[in-house]
Chain A
């Protein structure tokens, strides 16, 4: 499940906040300065992330299908009393899948998407704060200002949801990859014991 090309990279200006949550070691959160540089194209970034998610899902499904076929065969081998060792072609297919899975580490992509999620959330929060301030204002122009902020607010809210979904999908795909990698490892270990590997 290698990450598709074209994802905007690198952020260099970061705070010291870091945390490992749910098995994912997230990178430090971007500072306001670094984040603001991305706010102008948040919608485009959100669309890019959504497209990448779709591409990755197709790849993940393909790997899933390959594993499912091997899993069926592995189960048959487990209960077949006539088998004395794992067949060579089965082993080759398992090793190939394991190799492909190892190439698909999405950790970096998760981190990148997470930084955009941080920015989207920060931007949305900022707009919400401005809207709240306008609500409390006695300025006669506040109503027009609210209209202007409101139109932008919708776009940011959409982007925030879209980016969050992308992060969630990337975490999901990476978790699936790890699960399949572990399971293929178990197949190989069993063949090591049984023979043939």
Chain B
């Protein structure tokens, strides 16, 4: 389980770079590049909530020692509910149809068009500088998009693992099973803690996507 979570957390690292493009609900259409600043603040809030969830989970794990078998199972389920709710929230933020991905794809398209236009400008050192900056930004966005989509799959797979854990708890109904679960949960909590760190970094590591205005001022 531990190595699997490590692998999954690698996918979550993608969120660092994408932090500048966090999501905002688009009521009537796709989220656009202009909303990216709001998205950053939104994702920062998630980071705080995830950290609180981790603390709460740690406390609940301590409480497990004070309960009997049936209560342990109930408690374990409650913790899984909490973790899964947080996980689902993250998934909803980064899934293909989310405003987050719309804004990211919109940014990508804008950068692409800007790059093409700059390539057609008369040759000059400043033009070459703009092209280099846009090319770098485009490559960064492409890579982050891939990692974000991979993270979505990773988190969904994590939920599937939880379902298996629940099934096992129900089948066994024994303290031994619960304690095994607690060990797994500890690993999972470590993962969430790392995720919290990642999400915290997101709000501090915004990848600046050049806009028409910024390029024009160069």
Which residues from chain A sit less than 8 Å from chain B, CB to CB? 19, 21-24, 26, 29, 57, 60-61, 64, 67-68, 71, 75, 78-81, 114, 117-118, 121-122, 125, 161, 164, 167-169, 171-172, 175-176, 179-180, 183, 186
Residues of B in contact with A, size category: 35 or more
Which residues of the partner chain B approach A121 to less than 8 Å between Cβ atoms?
117, 120
A169 and B96 form a contact (CB under 8 A): no
B160 within 8 A of A: yes
A81 and B167 form a contact (CB under 8 A): yes
B97 within 8 A of A: yes
Return A89 CB to nearest CB of chain B, in Å.
Answer: 21
Q: Which of B102, B106, B117 is close to A117, meaning CB atoms less than 8 Å apart? A: B117
Task: Give the interface SS of chain B, mostly helix, strand, loop or mixed.
Answer: helix
B117 and A179 form a contact (CB under 8 A): no
Q: Which of B102, B109, B120, B163 is close to A81, meaning CB atoms less than 8 Å apart? A: B163
For B26, the closest partner residue in chain A by CB is: A61
Return B102 CB to nearest CB of chain A, in Å.
Answer: 8
Which residues of the partner chain B approach A175 to less than 8 Å between Cβ atoms?
105, 108-109
Which residues of the partner chain A approach B29 to less than 8 Å between Cβ atoms?
57, 61
A21 and B30 contact, Cβ closer than 8 Å, known pairs A121-B120, A171-B109: no
Return A81 CB to nearest CB of chain B, in Å.
Answer: 5
B97 and A24 form a contact (CB under 8 A): no
Which residues of the partner chain B approach A67 to less than 8 Å between Cβ atoms?
96-97
A179 and B96 contact, Cβ closer than 8 Å, known pairs A57-B29, A80-B163: yes
- The CA of A80 and the CA of B110, in the complex, are separated in Å by 40
